[in-house]
Chains A and B, each alone.
Chain A
Amino acid sequence: MPDREAVSGDQLLDELEGYRKEHRRDFPFRPAMGQSKEEIARSKRARHAGGSDNHKFEGERYLNCTDKAVRRRQLRKLVDEGGLSTFGGAVPSHTMLDRLGSYEFGLTREDVTRLEKEDPSPEKLIVRGWWVHLNRTDHWAVAIGSGMVVEGEKKVDPVREAREIETMKREYAKIGVKNLEHALWFATEHAGVDIDHAEFNERVIRDFVRTPELQDRLRKAFMLRLQNQGF
């Protein structure tokens, strides 16, 4: 049993942001700048290896959620991730955005399909294994709340985020990327939609992560997820 009382939702969120700040001193989470086209293509190949796990962990949150209104909000999030274009919107799935970005660095459709069928790296295997397991087995509100780590990152400094995208745009133009919109679509889409998603995560934390036990589980999940970056 945790040896402390439950704190308010706002206190808990502040505490989690404190963990982020501390962790980021040693493990900054910023896009790599000044890379050649080949270097970027290499990192994109590594990114595609083993396929995408987004539907797995987001789907686990949906499936485990016992609050109907939250579950339907999570389904709406699955639509954001799975493609607004499915319902007449302009934005394709995030998996497709990722692909479109890679095509601009010389990867072909066939390359990406082949990579997605390949084994992930051993590191990716265990990071993802842990992450899907957490979302499958932990309390649904802890699982949704743990989305704060990546999606909440976009809330930390949106101005810097926008500035970095502009810098990337200039760098990509310099190294001869033709369709800058496609090359950066994944990043620009996430700069916006992740803020909505982070706010949803925060609401779930405030409304449902209210016992000392759940709050401790979220603290642990948050810290372990933070450690994914720079692992």
Chain B
Amino acid sequence: MSELPYGPEDLKASPLEGDAFIRFLKQEKTRKYPEPPAFYRDLAKGKLGKEHIKLWVKDMYAYWDHAMVYNTGAIYIKTNDEEVRTHILKKMVDIEGKEVVNDLTGWTTPAYEELWLRLAEGLGVSREEVFSWKSFTRTHYAITTLCMLSRWWEWSWLDGIASLYAGDLHGKEAFGGVSKGLKDHYQVPDKNLEFFRVFQEDAASHLQWQEKALAHWCCTRERQLTAARAFRKRLDIEDQLLVAVHRAATSERVPLQVP
């Protein structure tokens, strides 16, 4: 957000072809984060205590309850292309609960935040405990940064699409192992794992249009450079969201919390 602007030298090269640009983004993800975050790796292997899993569920509620709603809505407002905007609208309905359009579809799937609360209940954490949790400061910083970049002038609408793409790629790849780990090692009942099934199905439905939109609209060198930067930043944010809780699980010091 404070980087120097790209100059004539940076912008001399031709843009990548659409498909090559998408391949480049995927390579960037592998380069920066070749493995899932450490917390997820340990969770999948059953190496974490149940109290740390509970901590994670409490700490991530603000992300599913607020950050997802806010950052996606902010990108929606910036998007003047109707086709892309319609896909974002679908994503907003996924996040807020498909039951929002029950009158049109009969769908009853609730909001991500509700599914997350049900996951917490499956671990024996009450809703009151979740609501009263004070986020780790690092998590709060990460959420605030995501909302700020999405809302204000730092990211264009296309940068925002790159961010949505990174978020969905990250979740889709990581959550299979997380869900299995919760079931196998922490005895979370299947019905409480619905969040992961819903998210993965939703993410799969969004990745395709996100790739198509980025391949089409990132048709200049500058658009590609800034979208790739937003893509990397979202990956950084996703990673940072899990650092404090992993430190809480693996070191003796409790990370700082929002007062």
Contacts and interface: CB of A to CB of B under 8 A. Distances in A.
A86 B89 contact: yes
Nearest to A90: B104
Contact of B77 (A55, A71, A86): A55
Interface string A58-96: 011011000000011001101100111011110001011
Given A56-B77, A78-B92, A89 B100 contact: no
Interface residues of A, number: 24
A9 interface: no
B105 A87 contact: yes
A120 interface: no
A83 B86 contact: yes
Contact of B97 (A59, A72, A78, A87): A72
A120 B92 CA distance: 29
Interface in B73-93: 73-74, 76-77, 79-80, 82, 85-86, 89-90, 92-93
A62 B73 contact: yes
A165 to B, nearest CB: 25
Interface residues of B, number: 22
* A interface SS class: helix
B86 A75 contact: no
B77 A79 contact: no
A51 interface: yes
Nearest to B74: A63
Nearest to B71: A63
B59 interface: no
Interface string A24-40: 00000000000000000
Contacts of B89: 78-79, 82, 86
B104 A59 contact: no
Contact of B79 (A55, A60, A79, A83): A55
Contacts of A83: 86
Nearest to A73: B100
A55 B77 CA distance: 6
Contact of A96 (B80, B82, B93): B82
Given A72-B100, A84-B104, A93-B82, A79 B93 contact: yes
A124 to B, nearest CB: 15
A50 to B, nearest CB: 10
Contacts of A60: 77
B96 interface: yes
A87 B69 CA distance: 19
Contacts of B11: none
Contacts of A51: 80
A52 B100 CA distance: 24
A167 B24 CA distance: 58
Nearest to B107: A87
A96 to B, nearest CB: 7
Contacts of A88: 104-105
Nearest to B75: A59
A75 B96 contact: yes
Contact of B82 (A62, A71, A75, A95): A95
Contacts of B38: none
Given A79-B93, A86-B89, A96-B82, A59 B77 contact: yes
A79 B100 contact: yes
B86 A63 contact: no
B95 to A, nearest CB: 9
Interface centre among A59, A62, A93 (most CB of B within 10 A): A59
Contacts of A95: 82
Given A51-B80, A86-B89, A63 B73 contact: yes
11 contacts: A55-B79, A60-B77, A62-B73, A63-B77, A71-B69, A71-B96, A75-B92, A79-B100, A82-B86, A82-B89, A87-B104
Interface of A: 51-52, 55-56, 59-60, 62-63, 71-72, 75-76, 78-79, 82-84, 86-89, 93, 95-96
